[in-house]
Amino acid sequence: MTDAVLPYGRQTIEDDDIAAVVEALRADFLTTGPRVEAFETAFAETVGAAHAVACANGTAALHLAMLALDVQPGEVCIAPAVTFLATANCARYVGAEVVFADVDPDSGLMTPDTLAQALEKVGDRRLRAVLPVHLRGDVAELPALARLAAEAGAVLVEDAPHALGSEAVFGNTRERVGDVRHSAMATFSFHPVKTIATGEGGMVTTNDHALAQRLRTLRSHGMVRPEGCEPWWYEMPEPGFNYRLPDILCALGLSQLAKLDRFAARRKALAVRYQAALAPLSPALRIAATPAWSDPVLHLMTVLVDFAGLGLTRIEVVEALRARGVGTQVHYIPVSRQPYYVARYGEQRLVGADAWYDRCLSLPLYPAMTEADVDHVAGALKDVLGV
C-alpha cells in the first residue's frame, strides 16, 4: 500500500466525462440548453419514472419538493433522525415543523414502527409529508410507509441520494428507487461522494405531470410563459428560485449516468468482498443490516462497532485507521441533536438513532477501489480493534 489514505467515498471521473464537459463548453448553451432535457430524459428512463427535473443540488431538490407540494408554515413533515441535515432542513425552508422519526438501530432506516411512533407526536397539527431516507443505499419499507402516510393524510417524498441504482422486491414486484410508485417524488444528489457525480447537482423524479411542471417553474424563479403571449413576455404567479443545473454539469451527468451499471456492479462486488473480509470480526463489528426486500447499490459501507465492549473510543479507532491509510466518516450525528433543532424542539431521546450513532462508522467504498484495498481495510480493522 502507498501512504495515501483511502477516503470513505470519491468520484470516478474518466476521460470521456472530461470530453463531454469540454464539448458542452464549446456549445451554444452553457445553461438552459438541450443537455438539461437530455439528462432528465435519460435519468427518468434509468430509474423508471415518468418525469425527472434536474436542479442545482440535492438540497435544492428537497426544497423544490416541499414548494411543489405547497407545504405551509406550521404544518409538519416527518424525517428520520439519522440522515444528512438537508432532509429535515427542507421542511424548515418552507416554515414547516419537523418531527424526527427514530430508526432501526441495525439498518439506520425509518421503519413502519418508528414512523407510527412519530405520527403520535404530530398531534392535531397537519402532517403533509413523510421523508424516508434510503440510508447507505438500502431501501426503506416503502409500501408500509406509504400506507401509514396515506392514512395520516400525508404524502411520501423519498430522499434517495444514497440509493441511485438500488432495487427492492416487495411482494412479487422488483422495483427501482426513483420509480416513485409509492411516493409523490424522490430526490437525488450528484455530490462527488454519491453514486454519480456532477460536482453539485440534483434531481427530482415524479410520475405526476402537474408536479413536474411546478418543479420546473419553481426552479427558475417561478416564471411562466402563458400560451400565445409575446416572445418577451413572462409572468410570475409566485416567486421561485434559481435552482437550475447548467448544461455543463448536465453533460457530465449524462456521461456519468451511462456508467451507472458499471459503477453499481463495482460497488456490489466490493460489498461482497467486504462481507467476506469482515465476517471474522463479528460480533465486535458487523456490517449494517440489509432488510430482506432490499437489493442495494451501497453508497456507504457502514459498519456497527461495539466500541464500549472493546474498551475503545471511536476517535481512537478513527485515528488508528487513518494512520494505517484508512479514511472513515460517521453517518450521521442524529439531526435532532443539532443545536438548532434542540433549541427549537428540546432534547430528544430516540433509542434507535442513539444506538446507531454510538456504533456507526463508514469505511471506504467507491468504484475505483480494488479488492486489495478492501482486504487492507479489513486487515487494518482487525489490527486496530484487536479481534
Ligand X SMILES: *Cc1c(COP(=O)(O)O)cnc(C)c1O
Q: How far apart are CA 245 and CA 3, in angstroms?
A: 37
CB-based burial label for 43 (10 Å; 0-12, 13-18, 19+): buried
Per CB under 6 A, the segment of 51-59, 118-126, 211-219, 315-323 that binds ligand X is 51-59
Count of positions on this chain that bind ligand X (CB under 6 A): 14
| Cβ distance to ligand X smaller for residue 83 or 256 | 83
Q: Is 86 in the site for ligand X (CB under 6 A)?
A: yes
Please identify which residue in 39, 43, 84, 366 interacts with ligand X, judged by CB under 6 A.
84
Min separation Cβ 161 and ligand X, Å: 4
CA-CA distance, 93 to 75, in Å (whole number)? Answer: 12
Distance CA 168, CA 18 (A): 33
Q: Tell me if 108 contacts ligand X by CB under 6 A.
A: no
Helix (H) or strand (E) holding 324: none
Cα→Cα distances 103→109, 113, 237, 238, Å = 5, 9, 40, 37
Beta-bridge partners for 127: 76
| Contacts of ligand X in 282-301 (CB under 6 A) | none
**Cβ nearer to ligand X, comparing 90 with 287:** 90
Binding of residue 87 to ligand X (CB under 6 A): yes
Please tell me the distance from the alpha carbon of residue 78 to that of residue 332, in angstroms, as a whole number: 17
The least distance separating ligand X from the CB of residue 383, rounded to whole angstroms, comes to 30
Closest approach of ligand X to the CB of residue 187, in Å: 7
Find the shortest distance in angstroms from Cβ 300 to ligand X: 9
Cβ closer to ligand X: 148 or 164? 164
Residue-wise DSSP of 162-219: T-TT-EEEETTEEEETTS-SSSSEEEEE--TTSSS--SS-EEEEES-HHHHHHHHHHT
**Which CB atom, from 57 or from 206, has the smaller least distance to ligand X?**
57
Q: Contact letters (x/-) for ligand X, 178-207, by CB under 6 A?
A: -----------x-x----------x-----
Q: Least distance in Å: CB of 38 to ligand X? A: 20
Compute the distance between CA of residue 358 and CA of residue 374 in angstroms, rounded to an integer.
24
Closest to ligand X by CB, 57 vs 166, is 57
The residue at minimum Cβ distance from ligand X is 58
What are the CA-CA distances from residue 138 to residues 53, 294, 297, 299, 367 (Å)? 23, 6, 8, 9, 18
- Minimum CB separation of residue 339 from ligand X in Å reads 20
Residue matched to cell numbers 479481534: 387
Give the nearer residue to ligand X in terms of CB position, either 56 or 381: 56
Nearer to ligand X, 158 or 354 (CB): 158
User: CB burial class (10 A; 0-12, 13-18, 19+) of residue 124?
Assistant: exposed
* Helices assigned H by DSSP within 284-370: 307-310, 314-323, 339-345, 351-359
- C-beta of 189 vs 362, nearer to ligand X: 189
Residue 356, Cα to own-chain centre: how many angstroms? Answer: 18
Residue 174 class from Cβ within 10 Å (0-12 exposed, 13-18 middle, 19+ buried)?
A: exposed
When asked if residue 78 is in the footprint of ligand X (CB under 6 A), the reply is: no
Query: H-helix or E-strand containing 371?
Result: helix 371-385
Considering only residues 150 to 179 of the shown chain, the ones binding ligand X according to CB under 6 A are 159, 161-162
Measured from the CB atom, the residue of 51 and 136 that comes closer to ligand X is 136
Q: How far is the CB of 364 from ligand X (least distance, A)?
A: 17
What value, to the nearest 5°, has the Cα angle with vertex 258 and ends 256 and 260? Answer: 75
From the list 59, 114, 195, 328, which residue makes contact with ligand X (rule: CB under 6 A)? 59
Q: 161 or 327, CB closer to ligand X? A: 161
Decide if residue 77 touches ligand X (CB under 6 A): no
For ligand X, the binding residues (CB under 6 A) are: 57-59, 83-84, 86-87, 133, 159, 161-162, 189, 191, 202
